[in-house]
Each structure stands twice: as structure tokens, then as C-alpha cells.
């Protein structure tokens, strides 16, 4: 069996699956149930010094559903914990005592002043927690008070606060980054300069999920008014993967440990985050949708896949995909594929034809008996037909071999330049220089 245990910047846990800082980690009852179910760690819901944090008493979540009512995304307007700081600290200490083998990270958000961090850090240390996570990502409520993403959007502030924390605590410092920024590399570099042990990302995306067309109020609606909130869930996964990859391949942050967050719902999602450089992964929406029991599917699926692939430990997987992430200009323009339709699997729905005929390259013909065939001379291999086909593997992309004729261009594939690294159209090649 593959070894799923992790040692992430000195934080040990039996598996890489942590619950992210959110409602599921707000109190002892929830966290105890999570650990009993098998979760490897938690990031305790964000603590602060303000005793007057008050959350709304109406709807806190908006939702985007798929056609089958599956939750694709959640928007939340909940603030940091509104429970007393001392109560949270006492419960953290109790949980860490009862589950010493699990990762216990405490999320923190206090005013951007050194005295505030000096005040709260010793209190957290006393609980025996393994690390802290600086919440520089929350896009609603707290950002209006000069915290959360208001800090995370200013690299100088990130570096400054991170340095304060490193100077005033023995615990590893994780910096949680906001996606509400143009280039994620700049805040990651700032965290690195400040001495961060790791970064975690992404936090939620500032959003309004919907508008009630009867009341003309954004949802969730509080007494006829709505506010932007933080968007999470499966819909944000592509954004999160890209930002994780950008940090993993940036020369200035290469080697900086990453805790990946953003729409992780299955073991496959987790494996993709780890392949792009995440040493641990954090889950929220999936647990809120399906309950803590999903941890069994996550660990079993990841372990089975690793066994099938011959990976003995997580370090065999972490970062494996990073060298294959490149800029568009370095993609091999000699690589040619063509769509092909398996007539035995085709259900003759015509979705591929409609999509290609109306919105793409008119590369699919409809013949007598509703038989759909690819016109190689028109196919640019855009993959749209594969994406819209409702039958898995009915339409696939066939790779043309070197020397094979591309009917669309009339040229033989890679006949002159078999190796893209020496192609004159490749900006990085010596020939281009």
C-alpha cells in the first residue's frame, strides 16, 4: 500500500487531506468528528482579537447548481469566528491533546499592526498547535476593515506581517493567498521574502452568484440587500490549479512548499494539485456538501491510484507535472491531431455536428442515417467535439505520425523539423536566434 503520510514543513499527518479554515473547523465538535472520520489535519477557522465580530443571522451561502442539482460553487458571506477567542483556544488545545498525530493549523487575522500579532501568537503557541496560517485572502467583511484580502493584495504588507510573525513565534508560518489579484506570483514572492515556511492557495474569489429577480437583491439576501462574498467549490479548481502551478514554476518561489486549495472534491483532484507542486491539500466545499465521510473515498482512491502507478510515497508525485507547464510560445506547433468518431459508441445525438458546424470549423459531416464523420481536411483538432460529446471515449483525438500527410495544410507532419526544439518558429530554439 502506498504511504500517504505527510511531513509538510515539519507538520506531520497520516494523510495529506486537511479541512480548510471554514465553518467545518469552527469548533471542537466538528473537528473531533472530522478526525474520528480519518482526516489528516485541519486549519481551524480564523481567529481574531476583535470580541465584537457578529455574523449575519440570515442566509450565508449562495449556490451555483449543475443541471443535476450538484453543487458546482458556493458563495459565502460568513466572517471569521464569532466565538470567544479563549473558547476557541481551549478547544484547540483539547483536540490537539486527543489527536496528537493530526495536523493542527490555526488561521489568524488581526489588524495590520505588529502589537496585534505579538499579542495573539503566544496564545496560539500555548495550545500546542503545529502551525499558523495567515489569512490574507478573505474578500468580504474583514477586507473592509483593513484585513483579509486588503492585506493580501499588497505584497509589501504580506512581507511585513509575515516577517513579524516569523520573529515572534516558533511555529511554522503558512501564508494564505488571495486569488483576487492580477498576478499571484507577486504576493507569493513577498511571502517568501518575509520568511514564510509555505503558502496556501487559493482563498475564495470575490463574487455575486445570482440576483433574485423578484426582489432584485443579490443572493444570499439579508433583508432585501446582498453583498459580494467568497466563491469556492469545483468551479474554482481550474483557477486554483493555474495559480499553484505559477508559484511552483516561478524561479523566485521554486521550492516554496504549497498547500493546495480550490474545489478539491475527489482523489483525482487532489492528485492533480500535488502533481503541480502541492505537498498537502485542503478541502472545504466537498465536506460541506457530502459530509466528513468522503475522506474514506479520498484516501482509498489516492492510495489505489498510487499503487497502480507504482508510486510508493507522496513525494513521488508532488511536483511531477511542473516541468510540463510552459508558456504558450513554447508549445510544439508540429504536433498534429485529428478527431475520430467511434461509430459503435455514437448515439447519433448530433451535438458534435451542431457545435462544429455552427461555432467551429465545419469539420464534421452528417451522412445518411445520421452518421457523423470527421472531415480531416477541415479539422483543426480544437477538441470541441470531444468536450460536448455525452458519451465518454466516443470521440477521441488521433496523433498524426511524423511524415503523415495533414490534409488540412497539405504538408507532411514534422517532415522538415521533427524536433520542435530546433524549429525556427520556436522562440527558444537556436535556429530562431
Alpha-carbon distance of 261 to 270, in angstroms, equals 9
Phi, psi of 430 (to 5 degrees): -65, -35
Across 271-323, the runs of DSSP E, i.e. the strands, are 278-283
Phi/psi region, residue 283 (left: phi>0; alpha: psi -120 to 50; beta: rest), is beta
User: What is the tens place of the pLDDT at every residue in 286-324?
Assistant: 999 999 999 999 999 999 999 999 999 999 999 999 999
> Is the predicted pLDDT of residue 18 greater than 90, yes or no?
yes
In the chain, the largest separation of any two C-alpha atoms, in whole Å, equals 78
Across the range 211-237, mean pLDDT stands at 89
Pick among 3.10.150.10, 3.40.605.10, 3.30.70.20, 3.40.366.10: CATH of 331-422: 3.30.70.20
Q: Which three cell numbers stand for residue 275?
A: 502533481
Residue 157 contacts residue 186 (beta carbons within 8 Å): no
Q: Tell me the fold of 6-324.
A: TIM Barrel (3.20.20)
Decide if pLDDT at 432 tops 60. no
Cα 287 to Cα 252, 293, 294: the distances in Å are 34, 8, 7
Instruction: Find the mean pLDDT for residues 63-81.
Output: 88
What does residue 354 show for φ and ψ, rounded to 5 degrees? -60, -45
CA 291, CA 374: separation in Å to the nearest integer?
45
First-to-last alpha carbon distance for the chain, in angstroms, is: 50
Instruction: Summarize the confidence of residues 243-270 as an average pLDDT.
Output: 97
Neighbours of 211 (CB within 10 A): 13
pLDDT over 90 percentage in the chain: 75
- What φ, ψ does residue 211 adopt, rounded to 5°? -125, 130
Q: Model confidence at 429, in pLDDT bands (50, 70, 90)?
A: low
Rounded to two decimals, what is the model's pTM? 0.92
Which of 138, 284, 352, 356 is flagged as catalytic? 138
d(CA 215, CA 426): 56
Answer yes or no: 352 catalytic. no
- Specify the pLDDT at position 148: 67
Is residue 426 very low, low, confident or very high in pLDDT (cuts 50, 70, 90)?
A: low
Domain boundaries, the chain: 6-324, 331-422
Distance (Å, rounded) from C-alpha 378 to C-alpha 353? 13
Q: Residue 288: what pLDDT?
A: 94
Task: Label residue 112 by pLDDT band (50, 70, 90).
Answer: confident
Residue 328: HSE in the Cβ half-sphere, 13 Å Cα cutoff = 0
pLDDT tens-digit map of 184-196:
999 999 999 999 9
**Better-scored residue on pLDDT, 421 or 74:** 74
Closest CA to 432 of 306, 315, 329: 329
Residues 6+ apart with CB under 8 A from 42: 18, 19, 25, 31, 34, 35, 102, 103, 104, 105
Residue 141 in this model has a pLDDT that exceeds 60: no
Out of 11-20, 34-43, 60-69, which region has the weakest mean confidence (pLDDT)?
60-69
> pLDDT-based confidence at 431, cuts 50/70/90?
very low
Number of Cβ within 10 Å of residue 310's Cβ equals 8
**Dihedral sign computed on CA atoms, order 303, 307, 313, 314:** negative
User: What is the pLDDT, as a whole number, of residue 146?
Assistant: 67
Mean pLDDT, the chain, integer: 92
Query: Residues 271, 206: contact at Cβ < 8 Å?
Result: no
Cα separation, 109 vs 146, in Å, equals 10
Give Cα 155 to chain centroid, integer Å.
21
Amino acid at each position: 500500500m502506498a504511504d500517504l503520510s505527510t511531513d509538510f514543513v515539519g507538520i506531520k499527518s497520516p494523510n495529506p487531506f486537511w479541512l480548510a479554515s471554514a465553518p467545518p473547523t469552527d469548533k471542537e465538535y466538528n473537528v473531533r468528528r472530522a478526525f474520528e472520520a480519518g482526516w489528516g489535519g485541519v486549519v481551524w477557522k480564523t481567529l481574531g482579537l476583535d470580541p465584537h465580530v457578529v455574523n449575519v443571522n440570515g442566509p450565508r451561502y449562495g449556490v451555483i447548481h449543475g443541471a443535476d442539482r450538484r453543487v458546482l460553487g458556493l458563495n459565502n458571506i460568513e466572517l471569521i469566528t464569532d466565538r470567544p477567542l479563549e473558547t476557541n483556544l481551549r478547544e484547540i488545545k483539547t483536540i490537539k491533546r486527543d489527536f496528537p498525530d493530526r495536523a493542527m493549523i490555526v488561521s489568524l487575522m488581526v489588524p495590520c499592526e505588529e502589537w496585534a500579532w505579538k499579542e495573539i501568537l503566544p496564545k496560539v503557541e500555548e495550545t500546542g498547535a503545529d502551525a499558523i496560517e495567515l489569512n490574507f485572502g478573505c474578500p468580504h467583511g474583514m477586507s473592509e476593515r483593513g484585513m483579509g484580502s486588503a492585506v493580501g493584495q499588497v505584497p509589501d504588507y504580506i512581507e511585513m506581517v509575515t516577517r513579524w510573525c516569523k520573529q515572534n513565534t516558533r511555529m511554522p508560518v503558512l501564508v494564505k493567498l488571495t486569488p483576487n489579484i492580477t498576478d499571484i506570483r507577486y504576493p507569493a514572492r513577498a511571502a517568501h521574502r518575509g520568511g514564510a515556511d509555505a503558502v496556501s492557495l487559493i482563498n475564495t474569489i470575490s463574487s455575486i452568484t445570482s440576483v433574485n429577480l423578484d426582489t432584485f437583491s443579490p443572493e444570499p439576501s439579508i433583508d432585501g440587500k446582498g453583498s459580494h462574498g467568497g466563491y469556492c467549490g469545483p468551479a474554482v479548481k481550474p483557477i486554483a490549479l493555474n495559480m499553484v502551478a505559477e508559484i511552483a514554476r516561478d524561479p523566485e518561489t521554486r521550492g516554496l512548499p504549497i498547500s493546495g486549495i480550490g474545489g478539491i472534491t475527489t482523489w483525482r483532484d487532489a492528485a492533480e494539485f500535488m502533481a503541480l507542486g502541492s505537498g498537502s491539500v485542503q478541502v472545504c466545499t466537498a465536506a460541506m456538501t457530502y459530509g466528513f465521510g468522503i475522506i474514506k473515498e479520498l484516501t482509498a482512491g489516492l492510495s489505489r491510484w498510487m499503487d497502480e502507478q507504482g508510486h510508493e510515497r507522496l513525494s513521488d508525485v508532488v511536483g511531477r507535472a511542473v516541468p510540463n507547464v510552459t508558456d504558450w510560445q513554447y508549445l510544439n506547433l508540429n504536433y498534429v491531431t485529428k478527431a475520430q468518431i467511434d461509430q459503435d459508441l455514437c448515439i447519433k445525438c448530433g451535438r458534435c455536428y451542431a457545435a462544429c458546424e455552427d461555432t467551429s470549423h465545419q469539420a464534421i459531416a452528417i451522412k445518411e442515417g445520421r452518421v457523423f464523420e470527421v472531415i480531416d481536411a477541415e479539422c483543426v483538432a480544437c477538441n470541441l467535439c470531444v468536450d460536448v460529446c455525452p458519451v465518454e471515449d466516443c470521440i477521441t483525438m488521433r496523433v498524426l505520425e511524423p511524415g503523415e500527410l495533414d490534409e488540412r495544410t497539405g504538408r507532411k507532419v514534422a517532415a522538415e523539423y521533427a524536433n520542435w526544439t530546433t524549429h525556427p518558429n520556436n522562440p527558444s530554439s537556436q535556429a530562431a536566434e
